[in-house]
Amino acid sequence: VGKKIAEASNGMELELNAAGKPVDKKGVPLKQNEDGTWSQESNAKKIEISVSDTGKKVATLVKGRQRKEIPCNEQGVPLDKIGVPMVLLEGCTDFWVSTTPKEKRLDIMLEQGKITEEAKSKRIEKGKTR
């Protein structure tokens, strides 16, 4: 199967996934910025779904060399930090995104005592300056 290739404004060639969406060398989905450059879809998480010996579905978050098991529902759909099912990125088999807005996620994490008010405001600030 020949890989489709899109060309970014800086002449960088981008591979396209099954849905015709550009991905980087590792297969991470990209999004186009206002200036025509491409960057990684920051919310995309690489998650592998497998079935354990007990027949239960297991979701494993893959971050570089680190692997961490995360919760998933009975259908094998990974859940975000607040337990909301994530959605598979178009044309990808193992990249998922949380549909919960970041501020809402942080509010719930705050309520659950997972983060402090200070950590929440820092994360929101960090998100805005990027």
pLDDT class for 54, splitting at 50, 70, 90?
very high
Positive or negative: CA dihedral 109, 110, 115, 119:
positive
What pLDDT is stored for residue 92 in this prediction? 84
Could you give the percent of the chain with pLDDT greater than 70?
A: 88
pLDDT class for 128, splitting at 50, 70, 90?
low
What pLDDT is stored for residue 23 in this prediction? 85
What pLDDT is stored for residue 130 in this prediction? 45
How far is Cα 92 from Cα 90, in angstroms, rounded to an integer?
6
| Mean pLDDT confidence for 95-114 | 88
